[in-house]
Amino acid sequence: MKSIKTSILGMSAALALLASCGTKEEKPALTLSGLNPANFETTVDGTKPVKLYTLKNHNGMEVCVTNFGGRIVSIMVPDKNGTMTDVVLGFDSIADYQNIPSDFGASIGRYANRINKGQMKIEGTLIQLPTNNFGHCLHGGPTGWQYQVYEANQTNDSTIVLTMKSPDGDNNFPGNVTANVTYSLTADNAIDIKYDATTDKTTVINMTNHSYFNLSGDPSKPATDHILYVASDSITPVDDTYMTNGTMMAVKNTPFDFNTPKPIAPSVADFSNEQVKFGNGFDHNWVLTTKGDITKPAASLTCPTTGISLTVYTNEPGIQVYTGNFLDGKVKGKKGIAYPQRASVCLETQHYPDSPNKPQWPSVVLKPGETYQSHCIFKFGVEK
């Protein structure tokens, strides 16, 4: 009898163990970059779900995106030794993106860059936008699209479409606008980004991606050793409030000439140049000589230590090169790393700043019946 009783007890214990295994929730697998998708799952404004989406290609490259702000959170690419390396700044959780003001990886809209004093005229009507940067409207205002939730549709392992339905009066911009951002991770290790938008009232649109690149994989150190190339003969100079004045300045014989690739330092710290001083480094729009040809490199960035390279292609007329001048070591990003000044380089393809007030520059006006389209490719490679 004792053996039968022992056997029954043993079977009961086994069944209990199986039952507990069946009810135990499995933890989501970490991404290649070490992100926990559970840390990105929440609901904003009570109805808008936010998640982390992962894109992959057959080369093992991985791109993580959250639909909060349409942000690229991580980009894993191989270095010259084949080691997978995260090359963008960002946060480990959606809470940090919500609570710490930043543009890390964001899909910027409605209007990337600055509009002078937040004022513009559309069809003769003066519109006052909110001001949030030295008296100007920057990146669509204080609640621009980088702080809003895009609808997400991941169509396959390597493509996601993010949709923003922006109501008339969003940050005082006119028109109900529907905008799409399509991220595609290609077989040749490129992030292909296509933007499109329509409106029911005349408005302005200028979208970009605001990824902060550090190709060393070590954002605790400045990225000023990176080698930069920009296909440009001029910049649109700024005043001490970072606002363009409508002119163009030749880059020849200045710290802004990167037609021949060279390290960002020491040019970025050459405060004997008034424009570098005004920008506290580089925070300027370069006028591209590629003339909208998506097949021609508009800019490139290479890290000498990892060998990782980034080439930017675009149909846009300009590119904003921003060297993380406002980073100060106070913000801690992924893995608790504090980001010091110039820990990254942003390469933001765009129409020129304050174009709504500069009729001599390419137009950013979008009218009903028209479709805004912009195209940017971030192609990664290795130089050994």
Mention every residue, 6+ apart, whose C-beta is less than 8 A from residue 359.
none
How far CA 147 is from CA of 68, 100, 142, 359, in Å, comes to 7, 11, 8, 30
- Which residues are catalytic, by number? 210, 348
Q: If residue 278 lies in a helix (H) or strand (E), which one and from where to where?
A: helix 274-279
Among the listed residues 162, 167, 171, the one whose alpha carbon sits nearest the alpha carbon of residue 201: 167
Q: How far apart are CA 83 and CA 95, in angstroms?
A: 30
Which tokens hold the place of 19? 């039952």
Concatenate the DSSP letters of all residues of 107-128 into one string: EE-SB-SEEGGGEEEETTEEEE
Mention every residue, 6+ apart, whose C-beta is less than 8 A from residue 58.
187
Residue with tokens 């330092």: 265
Report yes or no: 52 and 31 within 8 Å, Cβ to Cβ.
yes
